[in-house]
Amino acid sequence: MIFFLLLPAIIMFIISFIKSSKVHNLLYFTSFAILIPTIELFILKKPYYILGDYLVADKLNTYVLLVSSIVGIGVTLSLMTLRKQVNISPKSYRKFYRFFATFWIGLIFSILANNMGIYWIGLEFATLSTVYMIKTNFTKNASREAWNYMIVGAIAISLVLFGIILIYASAKPILGEKAMNFNLLLLHAKEIKSSFLFEIGFAITSIGMFIKMGFFPMNLWLANIERASYYPVAALFSGILESAVIIGFFRFSEIAKVVNYNYLFTFTFIYTLFTIFIVSFLIFRAKDFIRLFSLSGIEHMALISLFWVSGGVFPALLHFGAHAFLKPALFLSTGVLESRGKYKIAGALRGYKGKRGKFFVFLVSIFLLAIISMPPSPMFFSELYGFSGMLEIAKINKHILAMIMAILFLLILLSIIFYKFISIYQSMKYSGEDSEKNVYATEVFSLMLFAISLIILILPITINYLKGIV
């Protein structure tokens, strides 16, 4: 199975060195082929041991991998017309696919890892490849931000590694060399005597993962690199790379729940709430699409983390899926929205002619309203269930009044974001010049894929599946 999972990416990497105009068709095909082994893995009986105890497929990570592969298909569709929207050389185009293949290999290992060491290696592999994807945009700004990302990424991944070492040290007296195994750690979490050492390790690891997702105190680096790079890179960051990071947080926090749940909840709650507080005002000051969508992604990843530690597995995974489909769709739409000049929000949804143009406007409008949790967006239901789960936790711990106040404060912050998005949507639709703009078929197909995926996400069969993931 591991051979078939890696084969499309390996083929993509090899053919990206071929200097031919026809090689692009092969690159498209291998990108689409990523989905086939992922679907096969998804339908197999769980747990499925891919590579001993090192790579193990369960309901959680196969769901994350399937979502990521669908996002990869959407990005591939948009890449078909990338050269029509931006000035990119054939060499840079092939190089982008080369590092996309490397990125996908690292992603597979990090998502399917049942070993802390393999998870870290896969995450580092994916991180380094994205540095070079940023540099495919040959501008001074892109090169500078690639170096900034290298520095921030090195800090974050070093924190994750140091935290893993401490977690390993806390569990080694009872598990020996097998203390790197996620499943064994979860199974024997109650036996860990050095709980303080584990808690420190968990906090350091979480901070490293939070920094990689743009949480406090490094909120702006993610928006800066996504602004400097080509828009498909931003879609990969928001829809795929953050998936590999958040599943690591899921794994570590499940163990932390058993070791000391109160510590886990308090630490995550304070950290995510403060992050949303900072980000809400940064969103209010956003002046262009990429920064707006990037900062909004940080807010949603913070909510996913908060719902998860509140015992809301279902709302966290529903919100994760909705974010993974909505945010890349919005990032990819910026290739069209900004095609007549960057940083122009006013009138961005005006001037589209024909059925294709009108359908594009409809889809983007739906996505903009869905990202701020307007019903029947999956995010509306995930936030409803997520806040309910937080209140249930408060009842158990007898802190109901404090939780109500915290949720009200959180809703105030979310209302600031809501107001900003509505204001921008009105400016896009009713202000600015009515100049003619082009939309290509593959771009519409890409947005249609994400729209269909969102509809599937709220079907009863999907909801029942997500509720069955523990």
Strand partners, 352: 437
Nearest one of 286, 275, 244 to 130, comparing CA atoms: 244
- The dihedral region occupied by 41, where left means phi > 0, alpha psi between -120 and 50, and beta the remainder, is alpha
pLDDT at 402 over 90: no
Q: What pLDDT score was predicted for residue 340?
A: 58
Nearest-Å Rg of the Cα atoms of the chain is 21
pLDDT at 312 over 90: no
Per-residue pLDDT reduced to its tens digit, 42-67: 999 989 999 989 999 999 999 999 99
Cβ contact 294:242 at 8 Å:
no
pLDDT at 122 over 80: yes
Nearest one of 221, 241, 254 to 68, comparing CA atoms: 241
Cβ contact 303:386 at 8 Å:
yes
Q: What pLDDT score was predicted for residue 228?
A: 85
| 232 cis-preceded (ω within 30 degrees of 0) | no
Dist CA 345 CA 366 (whole Å): 17
Nearest one of 331, 343, 406 to 371, comparing CA atoms: 331
> Which of 339-343, 400-404, 446-450 is predicted with the least confidence, judged by mean pLDDT?
339-343
pLDDT at 353 over 90: no
Q: What pLDDT score was predicted for residue 465?
A: 93
Mean pLDDT confidence for 19-26: 77
Dist CA 335 CA 369 (whole Å): 19
**Contacts from 459-464 at CB under 8 Å and sequence distance 24+?**
463/314, 463/318
Concatenated DSSP letters for 410-437?
A: HHHHHHHHHHHHHHHHHHHHHSS----B
Dist CA 411 CA 243 (whole Å): 25
Confidence label for 435 from pLDDT (cuts 50, 70 and 90): confident
Dist CA 101 CA 96 (whole Å): 9
pLDDT at 348 over 90: no
Average pLDDT, the chain: 90
Phi, psi of 52 (to 5 degrees): 60, -135
Per-residue pLDDT reduced to its tens digit, 64-96: 999 999 999 999 888 888 888 788 888 888 888
Q: What type of residue is 464?
A: N
**Contacts from 288-292 at CB under 8 Å and sequence distance 24+?**
288/227, 288/338, 288/342, 288/343, 288/345, 289/330, 289/334, 289/337, 289/338, 289/345, 289/348, 290/223, 290/226, 290/227, 290/231, 290/234, 290/331, 290/334, 291/223, 291/226, 291/227, 292/420, 292/421, 292/424
Q: pTM surpassing 0.85?
A: yes
* DSSP H helices in 289-353: 289-309, 313-337
Cβ within 8 Å of residue 85, ≥6 positions away:
335, 336, 339
Q: What pLDDT score was predicted for residue 92?
A: 84
> Which of 153-157, 187-191, 209-213, 340-344 is predicted with the least confidence, judged by mean pLDDT?
340-344
Give the tokens for residue 17. Answer: 């060195």
Cβ contact 40:48 at 8 Å:
no
Q: What pLDDT score was predicted for residue 305?
A: 95
pLDDT at 426 over 60: yes
Phi, psi of 432 (to 5 degrees): 85, 180
Give the tokens for residue 247. Answer: 């599943």
Q: What pLDDT score was predicted for residue 175?
A: 92
Q: What type of residue is 349?
A: L
Give the tokens for residue 40. Answer: 């096969």
The greatest distance separating any two alpha carbons of the chain, rounded to the nearest whole angstrom, comes to: 69
Per-residue pLDDT reduced to its tens digit, 224-269: 888 888 888 888 888 888 888 999 999 999 999 999 998 999 999 9
Confidence label for 440 from pLDDT (cuts 50, 70 and 90): confident
Confidence label for 290 from pLDDT (cuts 50, 70 and 90): confident
pLDDT at 197 over 70: yes
Give the tokens for residue 157. Answer: 């991944």
- Helix, strand, coil shares, percent, the chain, to 5: 80, 5, 20
Dist CA 422 CA 420 (whole Å): 6
Q: What pLDDT score was predicted for residue 308?
A: 94
Confidence label for 336 from pLDDT (cuts 50, 70 and 90): confident
Cβ contact 116:85 at 8 Å:
no
pLDDT at 341 over 60: no
Q: What pLDDT score was predicted for residue 423?
A: 92
Of the chain, the end-to-end C-alpha distance in Å amounts to 24
- Per-domain boundaries in the chain: 2-467
